[in-house]
Structure 1
Amino acid sequence: MNHQRRTAIKLAATVCVPNLLMSTASARMPAYPGGVVTVVVPFGAGSSTDAFARILIADLNTRYPGKFIIENRPGAGATIGARTVANAAPDGRTLMYTTATPLSISPHVYQSVPYDPIKSFAPVAVTINLPTFLYTSKASGIQTLEELIEYLRRNPQDSSYSSYGKGSSSHIAGALFIKRIGADGVLHVPYNDVRALADLSAGRNTFQTDAWSPALPLVTSGKLIVLATLGRERMPWVPEVRTVASVINKDYDMSIWHGLFAPSGTPPDILDFLNEEIRITMAKDNIRKAALEQGFKPQNHFARKDIAPFVAADNARWKQYIELAGVEKQ
């Protein structure tokens, strides 16, 4: 065997052996998702967040049967579920589907949270915007937002607004609205269950902010009146309903988004895979229709690199609103 031939054989061996090892390793490691992936929802079963999470997961499971399952871990302003995910192994086996609450709101209304809202999570995807609305009861006789503002300014001691608890987004929205219109003295009435809307419809409180789907039956029956939407733009299913900001002519944007997150340190290839799968799901007409029917507005797809800056800006926005509203930390 001449020298040139021996050199060629050695060179082939140096190329083939690593390739063979990589091929063998790939054969031993099934492609993600492989096993089961637990998607933690830090809100209760039956909540609007849980409902849309199940729509997404059901669609993912049409492509990866039985691979994605939901686990509800509610409580403490969604911080219990968020802590579970923050402390999980960064292997793509534990994810979190959530609203902005544990990342943008809870860190500013609790004395401390058991995770870093920015550093503990790797963003995967943003899915929908959750617009909220301002409601009053038909029994109040108030027909427009201007009439509500005038009533609250004239009768602060006889007025109240309900919410889903101290430090909740509905509490912050109500408190900031009162500050923005200069009607200090209106009583905050916190609830811990769905009785809030029932009491509002009975006229026990003056107004409340809430999502569309929980209030829809009472709006349809004529017991509640929709006075305004709390986001930056009108919603397509009720285009006649104006924004609060356009009426009071001040910054006021209480909209909340939904998104999917993984523990910090999760491999980028897994994050990219999940981002693309969510993009495929959210592009489907039936998914977008389901979102609109529940009062959600589908978001335009976010490239993964754009999500972290979006979340950081949202965290800063809510921090400012909470301070302006004078909501004390719990």
Structure 2
Amino acid sequence: MNKRSFIAALPAVLAAAAAFAATPAQAAAPFPDKPITLVIPYPPGGPTDAMARTLANEMSTHLPQPMIVENRAGANGNIGAEYVARAAPDGYTLMFGTSGPLAINASLYQGLGYDPVKSFAPIIHVGYLPNVLVVNPAIPAKTVPELVAWSKTHPRALSFASSGSGASSHLAGVMFNSVAGTDFLHVPYKGTGPALNDLLGGHVAMSFTDVLTAKPFVENGKLRALGVTTLKPSRALPGVPTIAEQGYPGYDVSVFFGVVAPAGTPADRIEALNRAFVQALRSEKVKALFASQGLESAPDSSPRALGAFIAQEKAKWADVVKRSGAQIN
């Protein structure tokens, strides 16, 4: 090569050398090399917050960096969800989401600033919390078929309490009316506490509340459990049959929990996070807490499974929300 040719080729040679030198350093860059933020789209102190904090604490033993919890509450989880959806897709900002922001809210709220399917990269399906149909003991029914039969002879005599319009305890009743042909009257409350108080007081007949809330009142006889709302029985209420097995196959309502990252997060980082979460969920401490809260394990912990589940739940609840007439601006 003559001098002129060498000079002409020099920029390309230098660029190739620089690329070669940079590649090993880039490949060796660890992930994560700084703390990861786990956003909880609800206030501190609730069961979702407790689950997420327990899991985040355990994650720190399976990653080279700590996981920091940050509560960004408001609009039934939408504020935190939109924050994560707009975060840098680098694996350092995650959300511990629930059925609200990851499925139901897409149909319930107008002008939502994110899409549960398109805006997030799924990481892991943590589990789900069943609801249970409970009645005040003044109602004579002992089973779901008996309740339906009794309602036929007492039109609109049965009302069900929920923690608010659009909540799972509301939509579970809407779905039940649809499959059972009943006409239970919905009575919304501002939270589970007020709804439970009126149910115990006999002002409403029943509720499709979560198993954790219902458990102590079922055990002391102040409420009667007729059926669990998921396809499988609940470990928290052994012996209580599912609604599905009492004549309504396919009836399946629960609050699910999953961890997601912003869409576009690199696949290798998603896989690394998934492996660490799987290890954390196997911890005896985490399993004990989740079991005490009535949480059931997800059947598949892969990112792909969570993605398919979110899409399925979004479509299911869109239909139920439409039938309910619930809409929030």
Task: Provide TM-score, normalisation by structure 1.
Answer: 0.86
Cα distance in 1 for partners of 2:15, 2:321 equals 62
Shift of 1:76: 2.0
Distance 1:302 1:111 in 2: 31
Partner of 2:109: 110
Determine whether 1:100 maps to 2:103. no
Partner-residue secondary structure (3-state), 2:259:
strand
> Which residue number corresponds to residue 46 of structure 1?
45
Structure 1: which amino acid aligns with 2:51? F
Aligned to 1:22: 23
Q: Displaced runs of 4+ in structure 1, greater than 6 A?
A: 13-17
The residue number in structure 2 matching 1:170 is: 169
> What's the offset of the Cα at 1:230?
0.5
C-alpha displacement at 1:154, in angstroms? Answer: 2.6
Matched, 1:328 2:318: no
SS state at 2:75 partner: coil
In structure 1, the gaps of 5 or more residues are 1-12
Match of 2:57 in 1: 58
Residue 81 of structure 1 deviates from its aligned partner by: 1.3
Q: What is the rounded CA distance, in whole Å, between the counterparts of 1:162 and 1:147 in structure 2?
A: 19
1:110-189, aligned counterparts within 5 Å? 110-184=109-183, 186-189=184-187
- Does residue 226 (structure 1) correspond to residue 225 (structure 2)? The answer is yes
Q: How much has 1:227 moved relative to structure 2? A: 1.1
Q: Is residue 276 of structure 1 aligned with residue 275 of structure 2?
A: yes
Deviation at 1:18, TM superposition (A): 4.8
Which moves more between the two structures, 298-307 or 126-135?
298-307
Residue 311 of structure 1 pairs with residue 306 of structure 2: no
Superimposed CA distance per residue, residues 216-247 of structure 1 (whole angstroms, 9 cap, x where no aligned partner): 23223321221100011222343421111222
Q: State the 1:159 CA deviation.
A: 2.3
Query: Does the 8 Å CA contact 1:96/1:262 hold for their aligned counterparts?
Result: yes
CA RMSD of aligned residues (A): 2.6
Match of 1:257 in 2: 256
Question: 1:67 corresponds to which residue?
Answer: 66
* 2:5 alignment counterpart: none
**Cα deviation 1:46-81 (Å, max 9, x = unaligned):** 322222112211111234487212222233232111
Task: Using the TM superposition, give the Cα deviation of residue 127 of structure 1 relative to its aligned residue in structure 2, in angstroms.
Answer: 1.1
**Contact kept? 1:161, 1:174, Cα under 8 Å:** yes
SS at match of 1:261: strand
Asked if 1 retains the 8 angstrom alpha-carbon contact of 2:32 and 2:65, the reply is no
List per-residue Cα deviations over 1:2-47 (Å, max 9, x = no partner).
xxxxxxxxxxx999865543344567x5x22222222111122232
Note if contact 2:39-2:95 (Cα within 8 Å) is conserved in structure 1.
Answer: yes
Deviation at 1:124, TM superposition (A): 0.7
Partner of 2:275, secondary structure, is helix
**Structure 2 stretches lacking a partner, 5+ long:** 1-13
Q: CA deviation at 1:163?
A: 0.7
2:156 is paired with a residue of what secondary structure? Answer: helix
Deviations 1:134-164, CA, capped at 9 Å, x for gaps: 1112344443323322333332333211111
Task: Please tell me whether the aligned partners of residues 126 and 298 of structure 2 are also in contact (alpha carbons under 8 angstroms).
Answer: yes
Give 1:217's aligned residue: 216
2:62–2:279 CA contact under 8 A, matched in 1? no
Query: What is the number of equivalent residue pairs in this alignment?
Result: 316
Q: Distance in 2 between matches of 1:301 and 1:286?
A: 21
- Counterpart of 1:36? 35
The residue type paired with residue 23 of structure 2 is M
**Residue equivalent to 1:191:** 189
Task: Give the TM-score taking structure 2 as reference length.
Answer: 0.86
2:203 matches 1:204? yes
1:97 deviates by: 0.4
**Deviation, structure 1 residue 192:** 1.8
Q: CA deviation at 1:315?
A: 1.6
